[in-house]
Structure 1
Amino acid sequence: MFDPTIYENLKVVFEGAVYDLDLDGHIVVTHRSDLIDLATMSRTYAVRYRLKDGRCTAEVRLSAGLVDLAGEKLEWRNALPGCKLEIVFALTLRNPEAACRNIDDIMRQVWDANPSIVQTLSYRYGEDGACCRNEIVVAFDRKIGEGQIDDIAELLEHTVRTLRLLEPYNTEE
């Protein structure tokens, strides 16, 4: 009998919860990927969405590597299998210096001090840099497992709240 892994169980719960928000009209799912990297024997699931009338995006990324799979399936004594979780927000900014300070305050207000929050700015060569893309990665410092399944709905509520707060900063046409 097939026994699903921690990664597979979390992926199914995340996917169901995100698509429930889509069906309820709170968000629109814009992209989904479910990848297996045969070179590293790692798996990554990502689902990207935005508010119904929004342009900022949030992407939930769940990943697990070979050590997590082997430790779980082979029941290694000292194994701590689980999944890495990241949430990536993306938007286009004008006046990034001021906007990024405000965005940092927003992110810390919503997400507290638990995850690390990193903003990365980019723009096209030849443009003046006044308008740039901001990618905000919210990374959790520990693996998650099936014990956190009940927290998924609240985590997704945080992403929707964050999208609402970031939307006024988005200048993408």
Structure 2
Amino acid sequence: MYDPTIFENLKVAFENHVYDLDNIDHKIHITNRVDRMDLSILAREFAIQFTLVTKQDVIAEIVLKASLEDLAGEILETPGKQLGCSLLLRFNKRVQNVNLQCTKIEQALNNIWENEIQLTQTLSYVYEQKASGYLNTIDIEFIHKINEDHMDDITDFLDHVLETLEVLHRI
């Protein structure tokens, strides 16, 4: 009998919770969804992108990944391995005052997510376009892998994501 992987179970759980925030609670608007199997490295990736319904200037994306090592370790029941999926949050926000806004973003996100993250901000702009600021791609990578033991934390996690969207909107 087919036994779903940790990745499949987490993907469905995240998907259900996020779609409830869109279709039932009407707090967010889903703008994109990716479910990818990378055959070159035998890895899985699920991503879902959304904005707040009332404030669409900041985009959030939840990215769940499972490597070949994670998937094989689970299927082969390799003992002593920390099995699970990698979790990444990505936010896209336009900034004008780079030094001020990026510093405020770093402080705010470290307050919301505490010590469990690795934060990276990447600034970009389109060459030869009139300067309307920079696109700040904010990656929040979680240090520890997640698995089915974290299913009960998804609601709180999404509350923090919504809080982050609100905070980024104000900065």
What is the CA–CA distance in structure 1 between the aligned matches of 2:61 and 2:97, rounded to whole Å?
24
Residue 49 (structure 1) aligns with: 50
Q: Counterpart amino acid of 1:63?
A: K
The answer to whether the 8 A contact 1:121-1:135 is kept is yes
Aligned residues, how many? Answer: 169
Residue segments in structure 1 that go unaligned for 5+ positions in a row = none
Alignment of 1:85 with 2:83, yes or no, is no
**Partner of residue 166 from structure 2, selected from 158, 164, 167:** 164
The answer to whether the 8 A contact 1:96-1:130 is kept is no
Residue 72 (structure 1) aligns with: 74
What is the CA–CA distance in structure 2 between the aligned matches of 1:79 and 1:103, rounded to whole Å?
35
- What TM-score do you get using the length of structure 2 for normalisation? 0.94
Report the identity percentage: 40
What is the CA–CA distance in structure 1 between the aligned matches of 2:108 and 2:82, rounded to whole Å?
33
Which string of whole-angstrom CA distances, capped at 9 and with x for unpartnered residues, describes residues 34-56 of structure 1?
00000000000000000002220
| Secondary structure of residue in 2 paired with 1:164 | helix
Which string of whole-angstrom CA distances, capped at 9 and with x for unpartnered residues, describes residues 25-71 of structure 1?
11111000000000000000000000002220110000001111111
Q: Counterpart amino acid of 2:8?
A: E
Deviation at 1:144? Answer: 0.6
Deviation at 1:112? Answer: 1.0
What is the CA–CA distance in structure 2 between the aligned matches of 1:91 and 1:140, rounded to whole Å?
20
Deviation at 1:83? Answer: 0.2
Deviation at 1:80? Answer: 2.3
| Secondary structure of residue in 2 paired with 1:77 | coil
Deviation at 1:132? Answer: 0.2
**Partner of residue 138 from structure 1, selected from 116, 140, 151:** 140
| Secondary structure of residue in 2 paired with 1:34 | strand
Alignment of 1:105 with 2:107, yes or no, is yes
Which string of whole-angstrom CA distances, capped at 9 and with x for unpartnered residues, describes residues 85-111 of structure 1?
000011111111111111111111111
What is the CA–CA distance in structure 2 between the aligned matches of 1:81 and 1:111, rounded to whole Å?
23
**Structure 1 segment 3-18 matched on structure 2, within 5 A:** 3-18=3-18
- What TM-score do you get using the length of structure 1 for normalisation? 0.93
Residue 37 (structure 1) aligns with: 38
What is the CA–CA distance in structure 2 between the aligned matches of 1:72 and 1:109, rounded to whole Å?
34
